[in-house]
Structure 1
């Protein structure tokens, strides 16, 4: 009868419908895998600028960065460089972030705002090149903080990202509320690193006088050069492994503690 499907035609239509549905599903999955919900439905803009600060008459001794959100990277310049180089890379939706830099009493302060507090995406990623011996105070509300090859004191803090330090030799303090802390080939004699819940991994190129690495719940791993150490290693819920020579009276004191993860203190060789 007219309008009725034969069994063969019905099977062909079912196969075409199934193939179409599978193709649509595959496209949606592929789209979801490559894009976040924010990137699908928002228009993120970008802007950047770079500049140099300081000269022979305006020597900068301290860098103070206070960013609402975004990564901060600070690296050492060539030995003969006296100025500070700053690059700002911004990402925002509606209102462009407002950034400022000012120098007072030898302190260069870099600041960025919250784009008016409207809840839109608002980040400023700072990349700063400085004389190696400069003091660095770094704060961000939501990005990673990375320092490389600095010999001056460093105080790095983030509310949600990671803190990474490579080949530093000055006093080093690192704090993150929920990210990880990674210290690589550091020569700093005084180290204090803490995470609210992430992992900490510290590899030392020289024996520290005092090193404290603590996590609220992650793993803590400390790798030390050959020597004898006064070690305080504690965990409330994981395993404890100390394989370096220990002596309570040793001049090099290492504290490694976590509320729930594993603690390992071992040699780096």
Structure 2
């Protein structure tokens, strides 16, 4: 399998980082195109993959094309390659807000798949949602799953839910970083050194998330397990509820979802 990336930004690098360590693909079968030569040199040197300014050298031969470009640059980049992609190549888009109908119009003979990953893929802990286009069959979905599960977890959803995915898991890491930063600030205020406070806060978030995923228990059940009657935790939970932390998180995700919907209508 040969995989070609159109765009060599942070998300493309996160995916490359995940798949380049897998036994089913060799670094020399990974191709990246980016408009900055300095970026290409960096990706080549770090991952030993093929990286070039422009996709003309590989676009006709790759089996999977991953569109990893910013929404504002998407139309121009797609126009440059849409007539060059192999007819049986799988086209996977991680372009925020770009609908399958638009992608299928540009690549009418290809199986097209839309994926919403997130940045924790860079450390093997990503979350990706996959929506299949009309010509994409189970075998094509399996290939997409293989690529994105190399650096995290994968779920399949209907495309109509992709805006919800974008607002929750796509934007979600930023919301969690804000919480980790705030928690570490509280640790510093209580007397901890900054590095220790960040480590305590970040590992607490990591461990809590792992408990949710591995136990299958509802977060509220797990919260109750650590909330002793008359203890320190219920005092903190009480303040969070008073200050509207839960409502703020719901509003933040909802705002991100609505922004994704608005981008899709442009």
Relative to the length of structure 2, the TM-score reads 0.25
Whose RCO is larger (CA < 8 A, sep 6+)? Answer: 2
Relative to the length of structure 1, the TM-score reads 0.25
Structure with greater helix share of residues: 2
Instruction: Mark the structure with the bigger radius of gyration.
Output: 1
Structure with greater strand share of residues: 1
